[in-house]
Amino acid sequence: MTKPPLAQHVIGIDVGGTFTDLVMLESHSGAVTIAKVPTTPDNQAYGVLNALQEAEADLSTVDLIIHGTTTTTNAVLERKLSRTGLITTQGFRDVLELGRRTRPQAYGMKGMFTPIIPRNLRLEVAERMDYAGRVITPLDREGMRQAVQDLLAAGCESLVIHFLHAYANPDHENQAADIAAELWPNQYITKGHALLSESREFERGVTAAVNASVQPLLERYIQRLVSELKTHGYKSEMLVMNGNGGTVSSKDVAREAAKTVMSGPASGVIAAINTGKATNHHHLITYDMGGTSTDVSVIRNGKPSISNEIEIEYAMPIHVPMIDVRTVGAGGGSIARVNAAGLLEVGPDSAGADPGPICYGRGGTEPTISDANMILGRLASSAVKSVEGGISLDHIKSVFDETFGQHLQMDAVSAADAVVRVANAKMAGAIRMVLVSLGADPRDFSLFAFGGAGPLHAAAIAKELGIPSVLVPARPGITNALGCVVADLRQDFVQTINTPLAKMDANSLHDVFAQQEQHGRAIIDKEPVQIDQMIVSRSLDMQFIGQTHILNVNLDNMLMPASKDAIQALFEEVYFNRFRVRLNKINANIVNVNTSVIGKRNAFDLSQLIQPSGRKDSLEAAQIGMRQVHIGGRFIDTPIYQREALPLDVALNGPAMIQQMDTTILVEADDTVSSDAGGNLFIHVGQNDRKASGKGA
């Protein structure tokens, strides 16, 4: 297959819960176009087309479109799924419901869980493998055929085949799939082992069930969108972001639809990695605050934290490799209220894109974080994506007075300040928990603030956590879309072998790695995208025998085939670094073999994200006014700067507000700001206070 030439005219589009963001890069001219439009939840394709229209994109000249979508995530969370049937080993139809015998709420007597496949659509057939993959009961082929017919009669559109111990021997699942293919009217047949060759039947079953139930939805959405793009002149293949930070062809994305969960958040982390490399910031905490939620992830040594265990809601573990992103229900549109206990509560409910916060002027009636920031002078009406005319500040204040005045004995300003502080504490808590779980010290990181609302809250959150600096990229509000543009092609593979290291044959282990690599290279080679280089990363999931904790052991710096002694020593070092304990006399166990195959795309010059022609020669020339802004418990006369006009050698002291098309940045009174040649801003937390007190920079 002949690869197309390097893409020169590229569009990245990310669909968020509130806004759909677009960035268009033209390498020949250096032109950069950005757009931000409301998301259209009923059909995300409309929001994508609206963004393309706002950017005035001529699709006939575009080489490549990369798309990040929340279609699968929303479908699972909202339970708007295709009707799906499951056929499993006799006696195991309830595995999705029994789970791990946990409870939705650790304490209390209430809480319910409903599996995504109802019990009447979960059928059993006679077959059985043991843990080693040996056949105990042959597959009942006639029973399988009858089960398929019963599910078709029940109106199922998708099918899951999930047999016990199929990871050790997939023969029965393969036989069953062949039988089903003779009867099933479409390609929506998911084999549990094919998607996830891992032990733990509950997690493997849930992953397969999620995949099957969203396949038709994702494929229909992608096909509609691709058809609309072609109608408007687009001639190339569209790529779709996966949750692992890589991309896959739109033609193939529905086959492993579950991998698109966390697609949008992953793209933001990829953009952060690229920006961090350009600015020599290799240890970052990504903080993406949008309109609906806040996503947090950790980057160490320029690499994201990858997890094979993402649980997007209770008893919904999806075990495919994804960038480890934690989400908290606090965004610009998060609704603030007084709960039954008389306490102020922010989120997780959101006003969304329609009607949105009160300040959008689209009919919103409930107070939100964005409305609080508007009262505090931290948002200008011109900086809000609102309808013509908008809503008066007095009206927003009256809603805050009515909502909080009686219960909390606060005026509108005090209530707005309380809403922001509660939201900041909630987001800081989420970041703190991520750092604790990884054993990381916040003082070793910079906070990478993006999303439409992130830079407005970043300095306060960094201060609470002891993070010394905040990195605000050139275009925070469209960073997820930018991540789509710079993302590489990526395929991840996991295979359970569950073998003591002492019994592992080094050549056999090497063969597993080689097979995974070969499979990944073959998939990437088929993609209609020019690849600059291919990178292969290998690791093992290991534990001491008798333990449940699993640690990932990276083998990238180890010669292959790796010796048992070398693997043992490396595992012990990883274990010590995590738990500060050495267990030298306990044998190690290899649980999973992991391989990532990454097709690196040609890098883009991102220095043009802010047009150099708009830069002013001085800080004074970039100032566009003064405004009363509530900082540190009182209103302060605060200079307002236009970010696109700031000189690249900017050095300013807080307080200050910095506005741009896609976000607003708050610099508190004791902070300082500097910039680099790429137009990235660095907020040095507390540095202005240190200078004033003579403590040094």
pLDDT in tens, 486-499: 888 888 888 888 88
pLDDT of 543 higher than 80: yes
Residue position matching structure tokens 């996991």? 494
Pairing of strands 238-241, 64-68: parallel
CA atoms of 431 and 302, how far apart (whole Å): 18
Enter the tokens of residue 142.
Answer: 């006639």
Question: Who has greater pLDDT, 678 or 637?
Answer: 637
Mean pLDDT for the stretch of residues 276-302: 90
Q: Which helix (H) or strand (E) holds 208?
A: helix 201-231
- Stretch among 57-66, 168-177, 374-383, 625-634 having the lowest mean pLDDT: 374-383
Do the Cβ atoms of 367 and 399 come closer than 8 Å?
yes
Enter the tokens of residue 651.
Answer: 């050095």
Per-residue model confidence (pLDDT) at position 3: 54
pLDDT band at 7 (very low <50, low <70, confident <90, very high): low
Enter the tokens of residue 186.
Answer: 């479409």
- 126-135: pLDDT as tens digits: 999 998 889 9
Instruction: Name residues whose C-beta falls within 8 Å of residue 182's C-beta, 6 or more positions apart in sequence.
Output: none
- 614-669: pLDDT as tens digits: 889 999 999 999 999 999 889 999 999 999 999 988 999 989 999 998 889 999 99
CA atoms of 429 and 326, how far apart (whole Å): 11
Which DSSP symbol is given to 586? S
Per-residue model confidence (pLDDT) at position 693: 46
* DSSP code per residue over 20-43: EEEEEEETTTTEEEEEEEE--TT-
Reduce the DSSP state of residue 158 to 3 states and report it.
Answer: strand
How many CB atoms lie under 10 A from the CB of residue 225? 24
How many CB atoms lie under 10 A from the CB of residue 245? 28
What is the overall mean pLDDT for the chain? 87
Whole-prediction pTM value? 0.84
CA atoms of 571 and 589, how far apart (whole Å): 10
CA atoms of 90 and 357, how far apart (whole Å): 51
How many CB atoms lie under 10 A from the CB of residue 304? 22
Q: Which helix (H) or strand (E) holds 49?
A: helix 44-54
Residue 362: half-sphere exposure toward Cβ, Cα within 13 Å: 14
Do the Cβ atoms of 271 and 287 come closer than 8 Å?
no
CA atoms of 159 and 85, how far apart (whole Å): 5
CA atoms of 148 and 125, how far apart (whole Å): 10
Instruction: Name residues whose C-beta falls within 8 Å of residue 570's C-beta, 6 or more positions apart in sequence.
Output: 553, 555, 558
pLDDT band at 695 (very low <50, low <70, confident <90, very high): very low
Reduce the DSSP state of residue 538 to 3 states and report it.
Answer: strand
Question: Who has greater pLDDT, 17 or 332?
Answer: 332
Q: Which of 673, 635, 629 is nearest to 654 (CA)?
A: 673
Question: Who has greater pLDDT, 677 or 445?
Answer: 445
Per-residue model confidence (pLDDT) at position 111: 67
Per-residue model confidence (pLDDT) at position 39: 84
pLDDT of 388 higher than 70: no
Per-residue model confidence (pLDDT) at position 567: 92
- Stretch among 39-43, 289-293, 350-354 having the lowest mean pLDDT: 350-354
CA atoms of 282 and 273, how far apart (whole Å): 7
pLDDT of 154 higher than 60: yes
CA atoms of 271 and 242, how far apart (whole Å): 14
CA distances (Å), origin 553, targets 96, 490, 503, 528: 30, 20, 18, 33
pLDDT of 690 higher than 60: no
Which DSSP symbol is given to 186? S
pLDDT band at 697 (very low <50, low <70, confident <90, very high): very low
* DSSP code per residue over 539-559: EEEEEETT----EEEE-TTS-
CA atoms of 648 and 619, how far apart (whole Å): 10
- 44-102: pLDDT as tens digits: 888 999 999 999 989 999 988 999 888 888 788 778 899 999 999 999 999 888 887 77
Q: Rounded to 5 degrees, what are φ and ψ at 364?
A: -65, 140
Mean pLDDT for the stretch of residues 251-274: 89
Q: Which of 596, 576, 601 is nearest to 586 (CA)?
A: 576
3-7, 255-259, 630-634, 638-642, range with greatest mean pLDDT? 638-642
Enter the tokens of residue 446.
Answer: 């910079």
- 419-472: pLDDT as tens digits: 999 999 999 998 998 888 777 889 999 999 998 889 999 999 999 999 999 999
- 291-330: pLDDT as tens digits: 778 889 999 999 888 887 777 777 778 888 888 888 887 8
Enter the tokens of residue 694.
Answer: 């003579």
CA atoms of 92 and 161, how far apart (whole Å): 12
Q: Which of 291, 311, 212, 302 is nearest to 258 (CA)?
A: 212
Measured in residues, the chain has a length of 697
Reduce the DSSP state of residue 657 to 3 states and report it.
Answer: strand
- Stretch among 80-94, 217-231, 339-353 having the lowest mean pLDDT: 339-353
